[in-house]
Structure 1
Amino acid sequence: MTLTANKFTPEVMLSAPRRSAGVPNPSGKLVLYTVSTYCFKEHKNTSQIKVLEIDSGNSTTVFEGPGASEPVWLGDNDVLYLKSGDNGSTVLIAWADGIEPYEVGSVKGPISNVKVKRLLDGTVAFACSAVTTPHGKLCNPETEKKPQSSAKVYTSLFVRHWDAWNTNNASSIFYGVIDKKDDKYSLRDNTLHNALAGTKLSSPVPPFGGTSDFDIGPSGLVFVAKDPELNAAIYTKTDLYFIPLKTFTESSPPSPQIVKTPGLEGYSNSPVFSHCGHKVAFTRMRSNQYESDKPRLLLVPDIAHPDKTEEFYATQDGNGGWDTRPESILWSHDDAKLYVTAEDRGRTLIVELPSSPSKTGTALPTAIKIPNGSVRAFYLLADPTNDEEKTQTPKGHQLFITTTSLIDNACYSITNPTTSTSTTIFSASKHGKAFNLSPHSISTITFPGAGGAYDIDALVVRPSSYSPSDPPHKYPLCMLIHGGPQGAWQDSWSTRWNPAVFAEQGYVVVCPNPTGSTGYGMALQDGIKGEWGGRPYNDLVRCFEWVVENLAEVDGARAVALGASYGGYMINWIQGHPLGRKFKALVCHDGVFSTLNQWCTEELFFPIHDFEGTLYDNRASYEKWDPARFVADWATPQLTIHSELDYRLPITEGLAAFNVLQAKKVPSKLLMFPDENHWVLKHENSLVWHREVIGWINKYSGIDEEQSLAEETERLKV
């Protein structure tokens, strides 16, 4: 195997510092963030909590070492964070400017997803999540009594999820109060209370729920949770609840009150209190069996009356007049406006709109101009109407934004929504120039989709060695097919599928967003329903043809294609169809071998929606798009990758594909990870993944041969 890149290699990418989103302090002068860096020589990861001065750009380290996480601001110079202790316990530690860390309180079990809110009486409401036993008690895996048998018995659906077998334990939200006395903070009575004890509710929602699943307001907590009366394997429904709290010290909190949204029964997400504490904005989907349905932006005008909600851009037909997918929500300082993130043609942007549906009118919101890339997180800077801020440079109507792009894994900037001006505070791409990462390598192409009835976009990443010439130098095509299928390639950073890593091997990388992709309107996204191997496949055929015909620097005779999840399904589908013969090699990561096996997955609402029914009610749809129907035509060399902890697509899908290829004597290889899930996350495993994948495509695209010839030529010169 040969890795031809000599600068931006997989090892360079994987060992580069990974920065969290930046969070400004109350005065807007400092930014809190974390950095994680892996060293392949020492096979060790280091973690730091850091503070950045906005004006000078200088950073200082708050804490360095293992076990520290979840830093949040308690004041202008006070940082609260968690540190794992002995026997799995978690300790709350605060750091003040120039003062050594000290203990605020301790909890006898792991906690995470920390949120704080300063209350009117000067105390700080503290909330977090933790796993609890069926009796609502904090669960500590280190001290739990170990069973004598490993047997698991189930009598209902949803026996496992993502990468773990389900148990009777559940996630819950805990709350308490942090006091400050003599310039030191302490957790009152060293006690946290379970907000959901005895309710049958669980929040944050697994497996990926976090701080965006709940919020703290001066009058209590809001949170989202699955409907306990519906089976989570079949239905996506999550409701929004409100728990009124007067002091955040109540040992027996009131029962949660459900927020009613007539006509909308799908996922609820991103609840956020207004600054006044009376209103809550959140999103909710309509369908209770479609995980990628369009979220609607909603408002609770008065959380004391959770039975009354209003929808932004509502229409009489119930479809909604805003054809986009709102995600994160932020209130302006005066609560008059909302700032909302949403996907838009390969980017995640921020839009501004009035905070009341009655004031939006018919004009749809437009995006705020931000630096290149996609928004990862955003916050308002200090409110200049505060007395202490009036004499300072106004920043209150400015946003502190963390973005990423295809060439930048972290960029911190300040944007003024009114003037559409931005100032970059920190950009990792400045350091990345040494690795030949440049915006000049990135472009977007648009071509007619299947039947010419709609257009399709694709991101294009060229190698840093590329320059226009006549005749052009030819680079083999590398087509990357995204998963989901309701997903999209974005101008954003990734350490799992980074197009620049492939481009630097000597490919022109094309990342199409075909039918099923998000960010291009619901018609394109929903067009994949009942069409898994239809419209998306034909879009990819058109993409291949357009690229070969219109990009003179692309050598279509040496093309390769790679995909994961749904992209892996498409690789197996391509294998049995004419497009498969256009590629010299294929890579299938955690793909679908047979759609008839889709009921081996955990979230059954997914195949029920996409295949328009159950396996027993609409078997014909599953059979129609089954890659296994066409294995007689499989002929292209293929690397198949699968992991044993992938419960979304069990490893037998990968084994079946590999066995067919081997039995047919098609050049093939199997890469298996026993300790990874649907993604390959561990640094050492990821490095092996990259070496195997790049080695496979380089062998069949001819890049290996080119490199060997170049090395031999250089040797002869010497």
Structure 2
Amino acid sequence: MTVQALKFTPEVLLEAPRRSEGVPNSIGSKILYSVSTYSFSEHTKKSEIRILDVASQQTLLVTDDQSASEATWLGDAAVLLLKSNSDGTTTIWVGLPDSFEKSKHSVGTIEGPVGNIRLHDLGDGFWAFAVSGKAKPDGTLLNPEKVENSHSSGKLYTSGFVRHWDHYITENRNAIWLSKLYQNGFRIAGQATITHLVHPLKNALQGTKLESPIEPFGGKDHFDIGKHGLVFTSKDPGLNPATHTKTNIYVSASEDFWDDLHWKGSEFPEPQEVSIKGFEGASTSPTWSNSGKMFAFLSMKTDGYESDKNQPFIVHDYRKPSKVIRLFASEDGKGNWDRSPQSIAWSPNDWHLYFTAESHGRGNLYSVGPPRPGDDKARGPLILVKGGTVTAAKVLYNGDIFVTSTSLIENSLYSLVPLSERPRGTDVYTLPIDDRPFDSEPENLTTKYLSSNSRSGSKFGLSRHQIDEVYWPGAVDKTYVHAWVVKPSNFSPDKTYPLAYLIHGGPQGAWNDGWSTRWNPAVFAEQGYVVICPNPTGSTSYGQAFTDAIQGQWGGLPYQDLVLGFDWIKANLSYVDTTRAVALGASYGGYMMNWIQGHPFGREFKALVTHDGIFSMTGQMASEELYFPFHDLKGAPWQDPEGWARWDPSKFTEAWATPQLVIHNELDYRLTISEGLAAFNVLQSKGVESQFLTFPDENHWVLKPENGLLWHEVVLDWINEHVGLEKYTESRKAFWG
């Protein structure tokens, strides 16, 4: 980005360069990343892979090949990436960082599409190599371009898991594919190292019923390779995935795991399940220690509950996977640390673990000294980074931590936590969250501020002064509801602004101090709203009890929290005009819009927006992941029909009267399009002012830039018209002529 936006509009949001998490070299002096941009004038997307030199702050183009991806370091002297070919195959390229296109050479071609590269240095020029890709029923790699088309489109199923997220289930399954690379030295006559695949890729899950990564969102966080082998998570093959969340950690390892014999006829060691008594939920983030002997992972207690608390575990000896140590153990099994970690990294000496975890609407980084064998009490955790949302943390060779993060005004920040320089007794590091000049640091700042994609929001016309946070007493005694407040960049406390009340999805989710390209509060604020993003009962990051309290209470406690919040805003924020309020929500937030519409609170708003929301609770039986409503509504509909009916928005349509925009996409198999059509048909039948927007090629989210722009145009025009602000499309036309 070289030009500062005059105003943060949907076009600015959607055209802004999207930078991936940074991949540092071993000492953090150079950062490898990808960046993509979209042009509405040219209707094209451009992608590049680049390297940031931290010292000079200059960037170097590695490649602008649109089919290149998954760039990573091969040591510090070479870059490895994947190139997708038109025939469905994948080529592995290796080249020098400063002259990749001139020096690149093919390491080998893989016979199908793969991704999620993992490398591990085995020494003596050898590298363990792993990717994920679809396997056919016979265990060979799937290439969709070479599959013969059937003369019939019929699909026959004998189990309940027919489709997932946005696609129908097929007989093909994700698998982890292994090989080795050999690199003969670092440079040859100034050219790239000559690197090649030692063996053809081999399916590590061949002959098992296991699948990893787990769809639809599993990636590198679902498997890891180390000195002695592979550790991964997979759905329990004996359970119906539609009604169970249980996944198991498996380890396939041995002293000679990477020896050539496994590619000469011998099979890899059979995966051994890591059994944890009392923990029957989802397990994720398996991560080898640097020594290669230990691994850590996260696991939940409750089967069928995807938002249960993650608890960390360590296996000290991969040869004894049944001997598991739980960190922060408690007698009641809930764990002494009331946060749910999301990722794991090891310190170079294996003496510390680092977790990312949400806390009070932020995504922090924590440190803990793991227990030694025979000691079940972990030291810590201690906060290392507090502020914004940490999306990735990578430990460098010297123990420093490279951090990728975002905030409500920042779409990509690279920072360094200099643990190697930490004074004794210093435990807390704080990310820069103000709008001081890019090249200066706030007083006592202990993170090193490496690179901001938006210059602390200034390239968007945003600043930290627009962000505030408030609390109000909640529906449950002695609880408080936290909410983020985002104001217009030209905010004046002497003026009043209409309210945009944004309700998050989940429902076990939260508005965090983080960036979004779909629901970005600053886009609404720059239209002239004060945007308030509450985290009511059911939200994450405020303790597991607060999250769990929504079970059996979908239209109860959260609704009361929102009503109490509206009353608190009316009484305490003089710059908010609650007589000109709109409410918007997606997924569970969309459900809440339909619920609000049928109750007195709905009359407080000039207009509502429901995106992919629930109209009828029994419609949830068409969803792919039935465990979700079964858990949250305390059973199946035939087990507790009263509980399902109690929180059903369709039971209260007699009261529907507020103008409402309904958005629902055809590829949303989590909440089917009939939910949106039913809500819209009710509104139309009752003569309530309403609109319906659908995207046949989008799922639960709107991901394509042109669709995203239309989404913003329709939504902003709808709410602006109802609160007396100029329609967005008209203001844009007046600005550009």
* TM tier relative to shorter chain: over 0.9
CA deviation after TM superposition for structure 1 residue 506, in Å:
0.1
Task: Tell me how far apart the structure 2 counterparts of residues 67 and 710 of structure 1 sit (CA, whole Å).
Answer: 34
CA contact (8 A) 1:125 1:248 kept: no
- Residue 441 (structure 2) aligns with: none
- Residue 118 (structure 1) aligns with: 121
- Map 1:466-485; keep pairs closer than 5 Å: 466-468=491-493, 472-485=494-507
- Map 1:155-174; keep pairs closer than 5 Å: 155-174=158-177
The question of 1:277 aligning with 2:292 is answered yes
Task: Tell me how far apart the structure 2 counterparts of residues 667 and 452 of structure 1 sit (CA, whole Å).
Answer: 38
Q: 350-359 or 420-429, which moves further after superposition? A: 350-359
CA contact (8 A) 1:322 1:364 kept: no
How has the CA–CA distance of structure 1 residues 338 and 44 changed in structure 2, closer, same or farther, with 3 Å as cutoff? Answer: same
The C-alpha deviation readout for 1:282-304, integer Å capped at 9, x for no partner, is: 10000111011011110001111
Q: What percentage of residue pairs aligned between the two structures are identical? A: 49
Q: 177-186 or 596-605, which moves further after superposition? A: 177-186
TM-score calculated relative to the size of structure 1: 0.94
Q: 184-193 or 152-161, which moves further after superposition? A: 184-193
CA contact (8 A) 2:107 2:197 kept: no
The question of 1:214 aligning with 2:231 is answered no
- Residue 70 (structure 2) aligns with: 70
CA deviation after TM superposition for structure 1 residue 711, in Å:
12
- Residue 413 (structure 1) aligns with: 415
- Residue 194 (structure 1) aligns with: 203
The C-alpha deviation readout for 1:381-416, integer Å capped at 9, x for no partner, is: 22xxxxxxxxxxxxx232111110010000011113
Among 508, 529, 534, the residue aligned to 2:551: 529
The question of 1:287 aligning with 2:302 is answered yes
How has the CA–CA distance of structure 1 residues 709 and 348 changed in structure 2, closer, same or farther, with 3 Å as cutoff? Answer: closer
Count residues in correspondence. Answer: 692
CA deviation after TM superposition for structure 1 residue 120, in Å:
3.3
CA contact (8 A) 2:472 2:565 kept: yes
CA contact (8 A) 1:558 1:584 kept: yes
- Residue 316 (structure 2) aligns with: 301
1:209 partner amino acid: G
CA deviation after TM superposition for structure 1 residue 278, in Å:
0.5
The question of 1:135 aligning with 2:157 is answered no
Task: Tell me how far apart the structure 1 counterparts of residues 526 and 53 of structure 2 sit (CA, whole Å).
Answer: 35
SS at match of 1:654: helix
Task: Tell me how far apart the structure 2 counterparts of residues 135 and 168 of structure 1 sit (CA, whole Å).
Answer: 10
Among 657, 674, 694, the residue aligned to 1:652: 674
Q: 482-491 or 421-430, which moves further after superposition? A: 421-430
The C-alpha deviation readout for 1:527-559, integer Å capped at 9, x for no partner, is: 100000000000000111111111111000000
- Residue 489 (structure 2) aligns with: 464
- Unaligned runs of 5+ residues in structure 1 are 383-395
CA contact (8 A) 2:371 2:377 kept: no
1:195 partner amino acid: A
How has the CA–CA distance of structure 1 residues 248 and 164 changed in structure 2, closer, same or farther, with 3 Å as cutoff? Answer: farther
CA contact (8 A) 1:267 1:285 kept: yes
CA deviation after TM superposition for structure 1 residue 433, in Å:
1.2
How has the CA–CA distance of structure 1 residues 561 and 333 changed in structure 2, closer, same or farther, with 3 Å as cutoff? Answer: same
How has the CA–CA distance of structure 1 residues 16 and 359 changed in structure 2, closer, same or farther, with 3 Å as cutoff? Answer: farther
- Map 1:353-432; keep pairs closer than 5 Å: 353-356=368-371, 361=377, 364-370=380-386, 372-382=387-397, 396-417=398-419, 418=422, 419=426, 420=429, 421-430=446-455, 432=457
- Residue 449 (structure 1) aligns with: 474
1:702 partner amino acid: G
- Residue 323 (structure 1) aligns with: 338
CA deviation after TM superposition for structure 1 residue 262, in Å:
1.1
Q: 129-138 or 184-193, which moves further after superposition? A: 184-193
**CA RMSD in angstroms, aligned pairs only:** 1.9
The C-alpha deviation readout for 1:494-544, integer Å capped at 9, x for no partner, is: 000000000000000000000000000011100100000000000000111
- Residue 540 (structure 1) aligns with: 562
- Residue 509 (structure 1) aligns with: 531
Task: Tell me how far apart the structure 2 counterparts of residues 146 and 117 of structure 1 sit (CA, whole Å).
Answer: 39
CA contact (8 A) 2:371 2:379 kept: no
CA contact (8 A) 1:83 1:92 kept: yes
Task: Tell me how far apart the structure 1 counterparts of residues 477 and 531 of structure 2 sit (CA, whole Å).
Answer: 23
SS at match of 2:383: coil
Task: Tell me how far apart the structure 1 counterparts of residues 35 and 732 of structure 2 sit (CA, whole Å).
Answer: 39
The C-alpha deviation readout for 1:131-153, integer Å capped at 9, x for no partner, is: 01111110011011111110001
How has the CA–CA distance of structure 1 residues 242 and 437 changed in structure 2, closer, same or farther, with 3 Å as cutoff? Answer: same
SS at match of 1:289: coil
1:331 partner amino acid: W
SS at match of 1:414: strand
Task: Tell me how far apart the structure 2 counterparts of residues 269 and 311 of structure 1 sit (CA, whole Å).
Answer: 14
- Residue 385 (structure 1) aligns with: none
SS at match of 1:479: strand
CA deviation after TM superposition for structure 1 residue 65, in Å:
2.3
Task: Tell me how far apart the structure 1 counterparts of residues 118 and 731 of structure 2 sit (CA, whole Å).
Answer: 58
SS at match of 1:303: coil
CA contact (8 A) 2:291 2:350 kept: yes
How has the CA–CA distance of structure 1 residues 705 and 49 changed in structure 2, closer, same or farther, with 3 Å as cutoff? Answer: closer
The question of 1:266 aligning with 2:277 is answered no
CA contact (8 A) 1:91 1:106 kept: yes
- Unaligned runs of 5+ residues in structure 2 are 188-192, 430-445
2:200 partner amino acid: T
- Residue 393 (structure 1) aligns with: none
CA deviation after TM superposition for structure 1 residue 77, in Å:
2.5
Task: Tell me how far apart the structure 1 counterparts of residues 668 and 727 of structure 2 sit (CA, whole Å).
Answer: 35
How has the CA–CA distance of structure 1 residues 473 and 356 changed in structure 2, closer, same or farther, with 3 Å as cutoff? Answer: same
Task: Tell me how far apart the structure 1 counterparts of residues 648 and 539 of structure 2 sit (CA, whole Å).
Answer: 21
The question of 1:228 aligning with 2:237 is answered yes
- Residue 354 (structure 2) aligns with: 339
CA deviation after TM superposition for structure 1 residue 356, in Å:
1.7
TM-score calculated relative to the size of structure 2: 0.91
Task: Tell me how far apart the structure 2 counterparts of residues 476 and 283 of structure 1 sit (CA, whole Å).
Answer: 43
CA contact (8 A) 2:663 2:693 kept: yes
1:513 partner amino acid: N
Among 413, 424, 435, the residue aligned to 2:460: 435
Among 583, 596, 602, the residue aligned to 2:624: 602
1:151 partner amino acid: G
CA contact (8 A) 1:19 1:34 kept: yes
SS at match of 2:577: strand
The C-alpha deviation readout for 1:182-206, integer Å capped at 9, x for no partner, is: 6434333551000001101000000
Task: Tell me how far apart the structure 2 counterparts of residues 195 and 451 of structure 1 sit (CA, whole Å).
Answer: 50
Among 577, 593, 599, the residue aligned to 1:571: 593
Q: 196-205 or 356-365, which moves further after superposition? A: 356-365
How has the CA–CA distance of structure 1 residues 70 and 302 changed in structure 2, closer, same or farther, with 3 Å as cutoff? Answer: same
CA deviation after TM superposition for structure 1 residue 451, in Å:
4.7
Q: 46-55 or 641-650, which moves further after superposition? A: 46-55
Task: Tell me how far apart the structure 1 counterparts of residues 385 and 416 of structure 2 sit (CA, whole Å).
Answer: 11
The C-alpha deviation readout for 1:121-176, integer Å capped at 9, x for no partner, is: 43000000000111111001101111111000111110000000001100000000
- Residue 698 (structure 1) aligns with: 720
CA contact (8 A) 1:220 1:248 kept: no
- Residue 150 (structure 1) aligns with: 153
How has the CA–CA distance of structure 1 residues 529 and 270 changed in structure 2, closer, same or farther, with 3 Å as cutoff? Answer: same
